[in-house]
Structure 1
Amino acid sequence: METQPKQKGKPGGIGLTALTAMVVTSSIGAGVFALTSDLATAASPGPVLIAWGLVGFGILMLALSLNNLVLKRPDLEGVFAYAEEGFGQYAGFISGWGYWLSSWMGNVAFATVMMSAVGYFIPIFKSGNNVPAIITASIISWCLTYIVNRGVESAAILNAIITICKLIPLFTFIVFSILLFKANVFTAHFWNNVSGNFSGGAGVGSQIKNCMMVMMWVFVGIEGATMMSSRAKKKSDAGKATILGLICLLSIYVLASVLPYGYMTRAELTTIHQPAMVYIFKSMVGNWGGALISLGLIISTLGSWLSWTMLPAETVMLMSKRKLLPPIFGKKNKHGAPTFSLVMSGALIQVFLFTLLFTDRAYNFAYSLCTAAIVICYIFVAAYQVKYSYQHLSEKGNLIQLFVGAFAFIFECVGIYMAGLQFVLLCAIAYIPGFFLFMKTRKDAGYDKWFSRIESIVTAAIVTGAVLGIVLLTMGRISV
């Protein structure tokens, strides 16, 4: 049995409240404000409720796995460390690089939807991906990079304040939705789609499947406290924050997305302008409602953007510390922030923002790519939860933890399938530069070979996927 060092408080570290706020803020970004319309397009209220139950259960299994691993292995820092500990250094790189990709790609999604929200007040920004919007988003991105570069702990405190500010409009919307809820509207088409019924058209199973990708996106960031566990006052706070954050998130998401089915018909919800919550609340209470939710969306997105400016830099810094990337990624400034990692992530966000000039579905593309990348990391977390629990099966509670990990693993594997092949192939392209950095790190460490036989096979498969992705992009079979 492994004996881990007793946890000690870290003076000046991030506390439980700030960590919980980071979980909530990292996840509540743009998605909740567009949920109702996206879900109404996919399903009626009955299948939506079932889908929330399934996704909630799957994310709970992931959260419980993270909680268990933080408590049992407090010596491991960063979500990707579980992959390395359980399946080797190469797996740690695959997991960490996927998490890093997801983190900064998520910022691109935040940028586009935030500009659309600003467009409610200043119409020139309404599309979210025109030249004025991208220039403004670029300025905001670099300002956030500067803030984080001045000190991660102070940024986390600012993050907690933003969380409180952005929850007020959400709670206001939920309260009015309850007051204006009409049971007859809610139950009118409880199971069927607009043109079908319980057994015809788009059946319940198909409707549930259509909901899954949208729902999984709004939970991306649930691991935010675990990623920052190295800076927590107590490691155990990271696990507690993850569970508390999940309870808050699930309550908000279900209420905010399902209650409007009792105010408007599903047909009306599918045709409403995005972000849907803005225009639903405007319909409920007038123009001030649209302005309030738009302001809340701007603050909400800004908070998530701040959290996700910290996470990619923290990821590659920890990967460098674990000798998965060159040492330069781990260098800190006098404020304890990884300047090089922050600037590199900021530069990539900048490049990706300019590419959004060439797509009319910028937000959907960015969040789908982000979700596909992070699910790879989640799969490794669940797999290590299973392995660790099996290896310590004789210890009390580990049989239950084994099943928790197994359920999380199955759920995330289904998630990567539902992400769509095109996004998996695009992620494969993004792994190519990472392989060169990984090989350089191993060469500098004195390795005789860059990859083992199994690692070479996996690398070849990823490179093949990347080539296929490039070919399909060139042929126009994959659109961005």
Structure 2
Amino acid sequence: MKAMKKDELTGNVNGISLPSLIAMVITSAIGAGIFALTSDLAVGASPGPALIAWGIVGFGILMLALSLNNLVLERPELEGIFAYAQEGFGDYAGFISGWGYWLSTWLGNVAFATVMMSAIGYFVPAFKSGQSVIAIICASIVSWGLTWFVSRGVENAAFLNAIITICKLIPLFTFIVIALLLFKSQIFTAHFWNNVSGNFNGGKGVGEQIKNCMMVMMWVFVGVEGAVNLSSRAKRKSDAGKATIIGLLCLILIYVLASILPYGYMSRTELMNLDQPAMVYIFKDMVGTWGGAFISIGLIISLFGSWISWTMLPAETMRLMADEGLLPKFFAKENKHKAPIVALVVTAGLVQIFLISLLFMESAYNFAYSLCTAAIVISYIFVGAYQMKFAWRKRQNGQVLIGFLALAFQCVGIYLAGLQYVLLCFIAYIPGIWFFVKARKEEHHDRALFPYEWILTALISLGAVIGIMLLLMNKISV
């Protein structure tokens, strides 16, 4: 890792404040998922198993957040989530982590685009599918507009993001309050472990129901590391770790209440048969027609805020990777506003290509968020592994345990995310490896790849080939 000046370790006096960083965590994670959460959970589980799943996922993500907090405090000179993989396991591991994180963040924008257009479809039917020609055109305009806005300065975008966080939480809190007032314990507890007949569940027990919940629950926490990834632009580096913990605790409370309370208003059968996004139609049933419009507007604001965050994060990741020699230097080029302009434009271009491809996909939102989750879990695994390694060297047994639990949870998560999506991510790693080799040449390394790196590249390439074959054989649907 390159040497850092002492004043760089404390952050940036004119940088992003703690409240803005907390807002970054919350708004990066709260996007489309929470508005569809109850119906998605109802398909997989009754309220009892869903609550257990929340406990497991909340604990696992908390271990990740505690690991990030410890590493930010102990190694403040490391910038970007990929830096932990690079420092602990070498440049190639840093590239694998960083490229996976970059893939995840811009793929998340594709998921946001799909749901935002569907939310607009509540008012304008032509947008309802989220994948019509007019919807793709409008999504493209929004994508490039946000790219231009972020190019005017990342700190300014973070400030606006904090304001949007407040606006997006108002409809969520309103929904939670009304759901509490209308909550009926007899509906909630009538079939606490199994709200639907055994024929529907296919004989699935509590364990299977818990597993069914975990994928969608992990998706809604993607982005919780947003403050850490922007730690180099924070007023104080330590604020990034604080923001991650505070933001996560807020998220867990909001998610549990918003997803579980509706089980006490409608039966599981009713919840699972709702149109998406489910919260729109639940609130419409609760308070009348205006409720659907109110939540739809909140959803659009929510997605807009997340889209701003996730426009910043992939570009910032590419810039930091280029600074560390993991990508060619031109990706680090900044404009007069100190925004990574090349990374912003490249990322926006890829989002555009993927948006066009949505015209030919059946389940664009599910596909995009599944790829997004699979890609980011790779980065999270490296965080847990480095937390263990670093704490072990310092003989901090408690921190070793935290790292182990974070690592174990993410390894289970990559299985639950679906290994087929990991294979599809490997396809996207192939051009990334070419850029990594090009960066190595710029750094005047004697070798493009070391022997163990060639072996890993061969395995990634094999996985990519298998992924392509499964696509051609229609074993993976898009």
Q: Under a length normalisation based on structure 2, what TM-score does the superposition of the two structures give?
A: 0.97
Secondary structure of the 2:221 match is: coil
Distance 1:373 1:38 in 2: 21
Q: In structure 2, give the amino acid aligned to 1:463.
A: S
Determine helix, strand or coil for the equivalent of 1:218. helix
What's the counterpart of residue 362 of structure 1?
Answer: 364
1:4/1:74 contact within 8 Å kept: no
User: Does the 8 A contact of 1:159 with 1:307 survive in 2?
Assistant: yes
| Cα contact 1:105–1:369 (8 A) shared by 2 | yes
1:67–1:238: 8 Å Cα contact kept in structure 2? yes
Q: Which residue of structure 2 lines up, in the alignment, with residue 72 of structure 1?
A: 74
Aligned residue type for 1:368: S
- Corresponding residue of 1:439: 437
* 1:450 match: 448
Distance of 2:101 and 2:349 partners within structure 1 = 17
The 1:444–1:4 alpha-carbon spacing in structure 2 relative to 1, beyond 3 Å, is closer
| 1:415 aligns to 2:413 (yes or no) | yes
Q: In 1, Cα distance between the equivalents of 2:381 and 2:295? A: 35
Task: Check the 8 A contact 2:11/2:233 in 1, yes or no.
Answer: no
SS at match of 1:92: helix
Rounded Cα–Cα distance in structure 1 between residues aligned with 2:222 and 2:191: 30
Separation of aligned partners in 1, 2:244 and 2:206: 31
Written as runs of structure 1 = structure 2, the 5 A alignment for 1:82-101 is 82-101=84-103
CA distance, structure 2, for counterparts of residue 424 and residue 168 of structure 1: 36
1:141-290 → structure 2 map (5 Å cutoff): 141-196=143-198, 201-290=203-292
Distance of 1:44 and 1:286 partners within structure 2: 26
Do the aligned partners of 2:95 and 2:321 also contact (CA within 8 Å) in 1?
Answer: yes
| Pair 1:392-2:390 in alignment | no
Identical-pair percentage: 69
Alpha-carbon distance between aligned partners in 2 of 1:375 and 1:32, rounded to the nearest angstrom: 19
In 2 relative to 1, CA 150–381 (structure 1 residues): closer, same or farther, beyond 3 Å? same
Q: CA RMSD in A?
A: 1.5
SS at match of 2:198: coil
Deviations 1:56-95 (A, max 9, x none): 0000000000000000000000000000000000000000
Distance in 2, Cα, partners of 1:234 & 1:104 = 27
- 2:45 equivalent in structure 1: 43
Name the aligned partner's letter for residue 372 of structure 2.
C
**1:195 Cα deviation from its structure 2 partner:** 2.1
Name stretches of at least 5 consecutive residues in structure 1 with no aligned partner: none
Distance across 2 between alignment mates of 1:405 and 1:143: 39
How far is 1:11 from its partner?
A: 2.0
Aligned residue number for residue 313 of structure 1: 315
306-315 vs 200-209, which moves further: 200-209
Aligned residues of 2:30 and 2:306 also touching (Cα < 8 A)? yes
The 3-state SS of whatever aligns with 1:140 is helix
CA shift digits 1:318-355 (9 cap, x unpaired):
00000000000001111000111000000000000011
Quick one: distance in 2 between partners of 1:4 and 1:349?
36
Letter in 2 for 1:298: I
Whether the 8 Å contact between 2:118 and 2:128 is mirrored in structure 1 is yes
Instruction: Indicate conservation of the 8 Å contact 1:193/1:201, yes or no.
Output: no
1:477 aligns with: 475
Contact 1:166 1:299 in 2 (8 A): yes
Aligned length: 474
Take 2:341 and 2:287, find their aligned partners in 1: how far apart are those partners?
Answer: 46
Give distance in 1, aligned partners of 2:37 and 2:400.
Answer: 33
Q: Deviations over 1:262-296 (max 9, x none)?
A: 00000000101100000000000001100000000
What is the letter of the counterpart of residue 421 of structure 1? L
Contact 1:195 1:201 in 2 (8 A): no
Shift of 1:10: 2.1
Alignment deviations for residues 200-244 of structure 1 (CA, whole Å, 9 cap, x no partner): 811000000000000000000000000000000000000000000
Q: Does 1:342 align with 2:354?
A: no
Q: Identify which of 413, 423, 426 aligns with 1:425.
A: 423
> Could you give the per-residue CA deviations for residues 146-205 of structure 1, whole angstroms, max 9, x where no partner exists?
0000000000000000000000000000000000000000011110251229x9811000
1:30-72 deviation per Cα after TM superposition (whole angstroms, max 9, x unaligned) = 0000000000000000000000000000000000000000000
Among 10, 18, 21, the residue aligned to 1:19: 21
Output the amino acid matched with 1:139: I
Distance 2:365 2:122 in 1: 17
| Separation in 1, partners of 2:371, 2:156 | 30
Structure 2 equivalent of residue 58 of structure 1: 60
Distance 1:58 1:4, change over 3 A: farther
- Residue matched to 2:104: 102
Work out whether residues 161 and 305 of structure 2, in 8 Å CA contact, stay in contact via their aligned partners in 1: yes
Structure-1 residue corresponding to 2:300: 298
Structure 2: how far apart are the matches of 1:202 and 1:354? 39
CA contact (8 A) 1:42 1:207 kept: yes
| Matched residue type, 1:91 | A
TM-score scaled to structure 1, two decimals? 0.97
CA distance, structure 1, for counterparts of residue 316 and residue 190 of structure 2: 49
Query: Which residue number corresponds to residue 406 of structure 1?
Result: 404
Q: Which SS does the other structure have where 1:273 is aligned?
A: coil
- Runs of 4+ displaced beyond 6 Å: none
Report the residue type matching 2:90 in the other structure. G
